[in-house]
A = this chain, B = another copy of it.
Amino acid sequence: MATSNDYSFSLTLPAWAINENKNLKPTYETIEDRMREVLRFARRNTEEQTGGPFAAGVFELDTGRPVVIGVNRVIPHLCSSAHAEIVALSLAQKQLQTFDLGAPNVPAHQLVVNWRPCAMCYGATIWSGITSLVIAGAGCKVEDITGFDEGPLRDNWQEELEQRGISVTVGVCHEEALAGLRYFANSGAPVYNARQGPS
């Protein structure tokens, strides 16, 4: 028999990430500083076995104030949508009490991720209101290294973002990001692609 609890779900950061968020610096001046912090969270998420090898940080664009850095929580929460970007954007929107991180009453926000968002998180980026996306890389290396199916994007994915007022910066700390993905692949951690049953 279904209960009301069946019609609600919660996503949370792991204890270590809550602690690390509380101890973030007041500001991260350069996009490399921001990316390095995101990469640290992504690597730690693999080490702690608290989710997939991805992290996403929401920063105030101009000041570099970190709003929140989220991590992938798919397997711990048994929720295929609990990617780092969805978690980080949702937490930032909750903290700032707006579904639009580009609303008139808030400063401009930037999303920093350790690789190009998957098809789902690409769409989530558009809905979120951020005006800047910074990624360590794009393309198939993430799939080649990890085995994840990131889903299809339009070939002009970057132009589509820019047409919507989202600037895109690709290649920040590229090699360090690849090293983190290889660390995950070599860890033996599970790859949470869908339809793992018989077809």
Query: Contacts A118-B123, A198-B104 hold; do A95 and B6 have CB atoms under 8 A apart?
Result: yes
Q: Is the CB of A100 within 8 A of B197?
A: yes
Q: Is the CB of B94 within 8 A of A131?
A: no
Query: Contacts A81-B90, A154-B152, A198-B104 hold; do A8 and B12 have CB atoms under 8 A apart?
Result: yes
Report if A120 contacts B (CB, 8 A).
yes
- The CA-CA distance from A195 to B100 in the complex, in Å, is 6
Of chain B, the residue at the smallest CB distance from A12 is B8
Residue among B4, B153, B199 making CB contact with A18, cutoff 8 Å: B4
Q: Is the CB of B122 within 8 A of A9?
A: no
Q: Is the CB of A160 within 8 A of B154?
A: no
Pick out which of these stretches binds chain B: A33-41, A72-80, A133-141, A170-178.
A72-80
Residues from chain B with a CB closer than 8 A to the CB of A10 are: 8-11
Residue from A2, A99, A106, A199 having most chain B Cβ neighbours under 10 A: A99
Within 8 A of B (CB), among A153-183: 153-154, 156-157, 160, 164-165
